[in-house]
Amino acid sequence: MLSLDRLKLLFPRASGEHIASMEDLADEFLDAFRISRKPLRWQFFLAQLGHESGGLSMLEENLNYSAEGLVKTWPKRFASTENASSYARKPERIANIVYANRMGNGSPESGDGWRFRGRGYIQLTGRDAYRQVGAITGLDLEAQPELALDPGHAFHVVCGFWNWKKLNEVCDTGDYLAVTKVINGGTHGQPDREAWLDKVRRVFADPPPLHEQPPADELIAIQRALQLKGYTQIGAADGDLGPRTIAAITSFRMKTGLPKGLIDAKLRQALGITKR
Q: What is the extent of the structural domain holding 251?
A: 205-271
Q: Are 127 and 157 members of one domain?
A: yes
What's the confidence (pLDDT) of residue 276? 59
Phi first, then psi, for residue 124 (nearest 5°) are -60, 125
Residue 193 covered by a domain: no
Q: Are 219 and 264 members of one domain?
A: yes
Into how many domains does the chain fold?
3
Write out the H or E segment, with its range, that includes residue 152.
none
Separation between Cα atoms, residue 222 and residue 263, nearest integer Å: 9
| DSSP secondary structure letter of residue 88 | T
Q: Are 228 and 249 members of one domain?
A: yes
- Residues whose CB falls within 8 Å of the CB of residue 12, separated by 6 or more in sequence, listed in order: 55
Question: In this structure, are residues 224 and 273 in contact, taking their beta carbons and an 8 Å threshold?
Answer: no
Q: Are 31 and 128 members of one domain?
A: yes
What's the confidence (pLDDT) of residue 275? 66
pTM: 0.83
Separation between Cα atoms, residue 8 and residue 241, nearest integer Å: 23
Question: In this structure, are residues 107 and 83 in contact, taking their beta carbons and an 8 Å threshold?
Answer: no
Question: In this structure, are residues 48 and 86 in contact, taking their beta carbons and an 8 Å threshold?
Answer: no
Q: Are 38 and 125 members of one domain?
A: yes
Question: In this structure, are residues 59 and 53 in contact, taking their beta carbons and an 8 Å threshold?
Answer: yes
Q: Are 211 and 266 members of one domain?
A: yes
What's the confidence (pLDDT) of residue 211? 63
pLDDT in tens, the chain (276 residues): 799 999 999 999 999 999 999 999 999 999 999 999 999 999 999 999 999 999 999 999 999 999 999 999 999 999 999 999 999 999 999 999 999 999 999 999 999 999 999 999 999 999 999 999 999 999 999 999 999 999 999 999 999 999 999 999 999 999 999 999 999 999 999 999 999 998 999 899 887 776 677 888 999 999 999 999 999 888 889 988 888 899 899 889 988 999 888 899 999 999 998 765
| DSSP secondary structure letter of residue 79 | S
Q: Are 9 and 25 members of one domain?
A: yes
Q: CA nearest 78: which of 98, 96, 92, 106? A: 98
Residue 179 covered by a domain: no
What's the confidence (pLDDT) of residue 254? 86
Q: What are residue 124's DSSP bridge partners? A: 119
Q: Are 144 and 104 members of one domain?
A: no
Residue 190 covered by a domain: no
